[in-house]
Amino acid sequence: MIVMKFSKHVFTVFFMVIMLQCIAQDVQQTERGVKLALNTTTVELQFYNASTVRVLKYPAGKETDPKSLSVIATPVKVNVSLKRSAGTVTVSSGQVNVAVNLSDGQVSFLGQKSKTPLLKEKAGSTSFEPFNDAGVSSYAIKQAFELDPEEAIYGLGSQQRGKMIQRNLKMNMVQGNTDDYVPFFQSVKGYGLFWDNYSPTIFEDNTAATSFSSQVGDCVDYYFMYGGNADGVIAQMRSLTGQAPMFPLWTYGFWQSRERYKSQAELVDVVRKYRQLNVPLDGVIQDWQYWGNNYLWNAMDFLNVDFPDPKKMVEDVRRLNAHMIISIWSSFGPQTLQYKELEKINALFNFKTWPESGSEKWPPNPNYPSGVRVYDAYNPAARDIYWKYLKNMHSIGIDGWWMDSSEPDHFNATDADLNTKTFLGSFRRVRNAYPLMTVGGVYQNQRKVDNSKRVFILTRSAFAGQQRYGANTWSGDVVSSWDALHNQVIAGLNFSLTGIPHWNSDIGGFFLWNFRRKLDDPEYRELYTRWLEFGAFNPMMRSHGADAPREIYQFGKKGDKVYDAIEKFIRLRYTLLPYIYSTSYQVTANQSSMMRALMMDFPSDKNVLPISDQFMFGKSLLVCPVVKPMYVKKVIAGKDTTMAEDFSTVRTRDAYLPAGSKWFDFWTSEPNNGGQWVKKETPIDIIPVFVKAGSILPAGPSVQYATEKKWDELEIRVYPGADGEFVLYEDENDNYNYEKGVFSTITFRWDDKKKILTIADRAGAFPGMLSNRKFNVTLVQQQAGKTSNVNYAGKQVKVKL
């Protein structure tokens, strides 16, 4: 009996050895990682760097090498090790360990020292359903993952759902006017996941799984990246999809537009009025129909008789020390030169888009169809034609491009529409990447002809990787309401967490459908003011909308509470320009973000994870927008009920101060400990803003436009309570010479124990740089702070405070 048992044991061991040898034959180490041929599925792991791994899955017997539209990184050489154990192959880069179950292909991701997975696929959830994609054999694909029950994830783009943590939801990811989808999320556990697919996709998270399901794809294709924290994850995402170039300094000033200025005289007069009122302004925007009727839609030419001399218009704006950008679209009317040229190369789509009628009257008259068609931005020749006509605008001095309908507008979408042939296959296959392609075409073509002026694009839609194209995305034509204002905070933060750092919204909301009296409605006036206060801490501060004009003088005059509050925050924006521009340098040079969800800087404080109405602007300022009405009351007169302003009582807002830091009230310098809720008074001209202890905050001069005065006498505010550092960045304010190292930095370091501020040697140089300057250094205290005046000539100075 003993012999029989021993024989069975020997046989079992022998069988396992044979099986492992068979498995080993199916595991192929590649230049980038490993390729595993399993029973029904091939799995490839491709390391792009030690912290980022690409996972490809496709049916056994098929070969695929998909070319990404978003990912532009070239994989670096990574030394990986393979470890085989019964039923599992583990590939390690030194930063990330990836385990593949050899029976079902389940992939799990672990950190270098982690024994439990950071993320793992749901076993058996990889799905390839045969799909006929406009005559091409393909698959509908799905992959599900298992997240911890309480794990907070963020990202997925800019939506109007009002949901900060992206759990327990179902999202139909198809680009739209007010929804920009980026199939990327990141976790508080320090990892990110990018689903690299451009077709209509369902993202769903429930108690069973977290999944992406795409209508069409040749394979499952996603990237796992470990960054350790949110900034690290964003750095990995940008290393894959491209770094964000710098915007000109003037783009960070205040912008005014409306739907629409109806003549060049009206547009120039708006800038002139701001100058007469001594209210700062840097940009004005011309919206649509400067081209004339809808049959000339997006002609990129001033064919409207009320714009008789566009070159003079641009020159008049420039003489008033402002900049101008102009609305351009992704579609063309049948009488435009672009339409005719694009039609010859079969680069126009046949689906319903805006405008539907050739008549400008509302509602659209179906008896007079506009014939407007969207162009094939996936076609490089079509993108070149687009720029061929746009460069005429560039030649007369237009400073940037407002790329409207960059989703593009697509009404009543059908399967037939999605079958539309593009240069890269069916429209279905590449649908969500349309904004990436059309925005990229403008950026790349302008860079070919002009490095003296930085590309600046304002766009309504975005996709993964768009940060590399000098574009600021706005949240679309949102309908004005208090809920909408709150939703913008959430949308901007989740969008930034996808790695795209520049975002803004129409201050005041685009449509005023909820306010019958428009600007005469006191609740709207309060809402507009609060929205503008929030906008002062966005990467772009831009007032815009339909139904009523929004220029400051439409809200009264100096001495009126609303007018004064608006002016106060516009001026505050300009005071913060040295801080904002230096923060923008950190975005470009060090993969930082401007709008920062609190979980980015305080991940260990669990209280901050769901907070949706506060954020960091840069790494020093904690901003708490007011997103509820406070200063209106109902007035009943007979059967009528109206709203009236009521400033008789100063209201308050609760704000949470994250743990681990001391905080100073920006307005009063009052110190507060972190880890607590505080109640702050919020008159109409105040929102709670706090400065983190250890911050060094530069304050700029009072100006009418961003470059009016040199920064030769900056106030430097030091907030004690912790050591700190700040890098003041300066360059020529426009052009791409900074890419060649033509800029300077001055590093300020605060030693809190010794109460010494060290201003280091200036690094770098650029034409026009200040050789000598004064810093007025203030140690911020609740009582009058101590100020030291420092003459600085580029060499280290120590200041005892």
Q: Let me know if residue 644 belongs to a domain.
A: no
Range of the domain at 273: 254-469
Compute the distance between CA of residue 27 and CA of residue 547 in angstroms, rounded to an integer: 64
Res 634 pLDDT > 90: no
402 and 326 within one domain: yes
Mean model confidence pLDDT for the chain: 95
- At 114 the pLDDT is 74
Q: Are both 179 and 279 inside the same structural domain?
A: no
Alpha-carbon distance of 555 to 569, in angstroms, equals 14
CATH code, 735: 2.60.40.1180
- With respect to residue 496, please indicate whether it lies within any of the assigned structural domains: no
Is 501 within a domain? no
What average pLDDT does the segment 111-123 reach? 89
* Same domain, residue pair 268 and 128: no
pLDDT digits (tens, 9 = 90+) for 428-473: 999 999 999 999 999 999 999 999 999 999 999 999 999 999 999 9
Contact in structure between 460 and 405 (CB atoms under 8 Å):
yes
Residue 25 has pLDDT above 60, yes or no: no
pLDDT above 70 covers a percentage of the chain that reads 97
Question: Does 613 map to a domain?
Answer: no
Convert the pLDDT of each residue in 704-721 to its tens digit: 999 999 999 999 999 999
Choice among 44, 196, 407, 601 that is catalytic: 407
Give the CATH number for residue 419.
3.20.20.80
Q: What percent of the chain has pLDDT over 90?
A: 92
The confidence score (pLDDT) of residue 783 equals 80
Look up the CATH number of the domain holding residue 97: 2.60.40.1760
3-state helix, strand, coil in the chain (%, to 5): 25, 30, 45
List strands edge to edge, sheet with 696-699. Answer: 696-699, 713-718, 773-779, 786-792
Same domain, 350 and 406: yes
Residue 235 located in a structural domain:
no
Q: Indicate if 218 and 270 belong to the same structural domain.
A: no
Q: Which of 221, 356, 399, 404 is catalytic?
A: 404
640's CB contacts (< 8 A; 6+ apart) are: none
For residue 8, pLDDT beyond 50: no
Same domain membership, residue 220 and residue 271: no
Q: Residues 204, 302: one domain?
A: no
230 vs 661: CA distance, rounded Å: 19
pLDDT band per the 50, 70, 90 thresholds, residue 115: confident
Gyration radius (Cα) of the chain, Å: 28
Query: Is residue 196 annotated as a catalytic residue, yes or no?
Result: no
Could you report the per-residue pLDDT of 356-374, keeping only the tens digit for each? 999 988 899 999 999 999 9
- DSSP for residue 357: B
pTM: 0.95
Number of domains into which the chain is organized: 3
21 confidence band (pLDDT: 50, 70, 90): very low
Note the pLDDT of residue 221.
Answer: 98
Q: Is residue 242 part of a domain?
A: no
Query: Is 360 tagged catalytic?
Result: no
Nearest to 474 by CA among 491, 454, 497: 491
Is the residue at 357 inside a domain? Answer: yes
Residue 596 domain-assigned?
A: no
pLDDT band at residue 26 using 50, 70 and 90 as cut-offs: confident
- Same domain assignment for residues 217 and 339: no
The catalytically annotated residue of 306, 341, 477, 670 is 477
Say if residue 751's pLDDT is above 50: yes
pLDDT, residue 784, reads 75
13, 151: one domain? yes
- Do 263 and 172 belong to one domain? no
Same structural domain for residues 201 and 294? no
Is residue 15 predicted with pLDDT exceeding 90? Answer: no
pLDDT grade for 638, boundaries at 50, 70 and 90: confident
Inter-axis angle of helices 434-449 and 380-395, to 10 degrees? 50
Domain boundary among 178, 209, 226: 226
Instruction: Tell me whether residue 44 is one of the annotated catalytic residues.
Output: no
154 and 282, same domain (yes or no): no
